[in-house]
Structure 1
Amino acid sequence: MDVTVKTLDGKDAGTVTLADEIFGLEPREDILQRMVRWQLSKRQAGTHQALGRAEIARTGAKLYKQKGTGRARHGSARAPQFRGGGKAHGPVSRSHAHDLPKKVRALALRHALSAKAKSDSLIVIDDLVATEAKTKAVAKSFAGLGLENALLIGGPQLDEGFSRSARNLANIDVLPVQGINVYDILRRRTLVLSKAAVEALEERFK
């Protein structure tokens, strides 16, 4: 698959051939869904916690005598049915992460890249380097390229001036190629790859 390479100024800078085994697959929604669910579950904090009856700071004395009152027999004021008592079957701190095979994760990334290529939402930029490290200048370049909601993936090392300038723009994310992931690809309308990122991805899936 041949794609025209653009510069940040919107000019043509030749073409690049994208590997069909990475960018030319037929996207499968089930694999993408499994990957997004895995990512979101893994990053969920899981710090929700309620106090059970064993953790309540309350007297341990029996409420009243066992017999003769005509009332139900109770042995603890910490029981869940009493006001101020413990929570029955409440949430506890735990990890929500679950396993997903490494091959499925790699396949999901290729399907996400293919989905963007198939929907014409993939742009290849010559180099993500800002000539002027100012948010206004970078915003003007993005407007010329029609980027309003985009994920930009650079090479192994990001240009500090460019990443700082793009950081303040709403709905724009900038990541090095090591940080590329399915969730961030799908949550943004357009995927922008630098030539260095394309080379790194093809080397990764070789």
Structure 2
Amino acid sequence: MEFEVKTLDGQSAGSITVSEALFGLEPRADILQRMVRYQLAKRQQGTHKSKGRSEVKATSKKVYRQKGTGSARHGNKAAPQFRGGGKAFGPVARSHAIDLPKKVRALALKHALSAKARADAIIVVDDLTSADGKTKALAARFGGLGIANALVIGGSEIDAGFGRAARNIPQLDVLPVQGINVYDILRRDRLVLSRAAIEALEERFK
């Protein structure tokens, strides 16, 4: 499989051959769904917490006598039915992470790349640099390439000027190749890969 390589100004910069095992698979929605669920569950903080009956500061003395009041029988003031009492079966701090085999996670990334390739939503650029670091100039260059909603993947390091220019453009995410992930690929309309990013991905899955 071949992709045409362009410059940020829209000029042709040749072509690059990519692996069918990385960009030519038949996308499976079930694998992509499992990976997205894994990512979203893992990033939940899980710090929500409410006090239970044993954690509420309240007297343990019986509220009033058992009989003769005409009211329901009650004991501890920390019971859930009282105002200020402990919450019954409330949330506790925990990890929401679920397990997913490493091989499935790697396969999901291949299927996400293949899904974008099949949808003709991958743009390969020769280099991701910006000499002046100006957002307006970079937005105009992306507009010329037809990029309005995209994930941009660079090499092992993002050029400082490019990162500074791109961070104020809405609906545009910029990540080094180490940070590429299924959820960010799928949530954006297009995937912009630098030549260095493709070479790094090919080496990673060789």
Report the TM-score when normalising by structure 1.
0.97
Deviation at 1:68, TM superposition (A): 4.0
SS at match of 1:44: coil
Name which of structure 1's ranges 49-58 and 105-114 shifts more when overlaid on structure 2.
Answer: 49-58
Query: After superposition, where does 1:55-94 map in structure 2 within 5 Å?
Result: 55-94=55-94
* Aligned equivalents of 1:36, 1:71: Cα separation in 2: 53
SS at match of 2:161: helix
Name which of structure 1's ranges 103-112 and 82-91 shifts more when overlaid on structure 2.
Answer: 82-91
* Aligned equivalents of 1:46, 1:105: Cα separation in 2: 23
Deviation at 1:87, TM superposition (A): 0.8
Q: Which structure 1 residue ranges, 4+ long, deviate > 6 Å from structure 2? A: none
Deviation at 1:70, TM superposition (A): 4.5
Percent sequence identity is 68
Deviation at 1:73, TM superposition (A): 2.6
Query: After superposition, where does 1:126-165 map in structure 2 within 5 Å?
Result: 126-165=126-165
Q: Which residue of 2 aligns with 1:21?
A: 21
Q: Which residue of 2 aligns with 1:38?
A: 38
Q: Deviations over 1:31-57 (max 9, x none)?
A: 000000000000001111111111112
Deviation at 1:64, TM superposition (A): 1.3
Query: After superposition, where does 1:106-117 map in structure 2 within 5 Å?
Result: 106-117=106-117
Q: Which residue of 2 aligns with 1:199?
A: 199
* Aligned equivalents of 1:86, 1:77: Cα separation in 2: 9
Deviation at 1:133, TM superposition (A): 1.4
* Aligned equivalents of 2:96, 2:179: Cα separation in 1: 22
State the Cα RMSD in Å. Answer: 1.0
* Aligned equivalents of 1:26, 1:90: Cα separation in 2: 44
Q: Deviations over 1:58-89 (max 9, x none)?
A: 22211112344454332211111122211111
Q: Which residue of 2 aligns with 1:5?
A: 5
Q: Figure out how many residues of one structure are paired with residues of the other and give that number.
A: 206
* Aligned equivalents of 1:10, 1:70: Cα separation in 2: 84
Q: Deviations over 1:18-37 (max 9, x none)?
A: 11000000000000000000
